[in-house]
Amino acid sequence: MLIAIDQIFIGGCGIASVYLSQSRTDRVRRWACIFGLAAQPAWMWATWHASLWGIFALSFVYTANWARGFWNYWVRVKA
């Protein structure tokens, strides 16, 4: 049951993050990293549980890049 919940969460957040990342406005685009980051624990748990080590390692790369978006859109003070 938990695996099905993870898959739904990964899919929902994944679709939202990709869709939002293509917005023409910063006000909408900034939410992509929030949804991307929200999905990362599910990605890590699911790939660890399934012993998919390459994708598990890749999820750390995705996490770092979503965190970069979070920094740029939510933390950094704009000039």
**Three-state SS for 78?**
coil
Q: What is the pLDDT along the chain (79 residues), one digit of tens a residue?
A: 566 888 999 999 999 999 999 999 999 999 999 999 999 999 999 999 999 999 999 999 999 999 999 999 999 867 6
If 0-12 CB within 10 Å is exposed, 13-18 middle and 19+ buried, where does residue 21 land?
A: middle
Up-side HSE of residue 40: CA atoms within 13 Å toward CB?
A: 18
Quote the radius of gyration of the chain (alpha carbons, Å). Answer: 14
Alpha-carbon torsion 67, 61, 50, 48, what sign? negative
Whole-model pTM: value is: 0.89
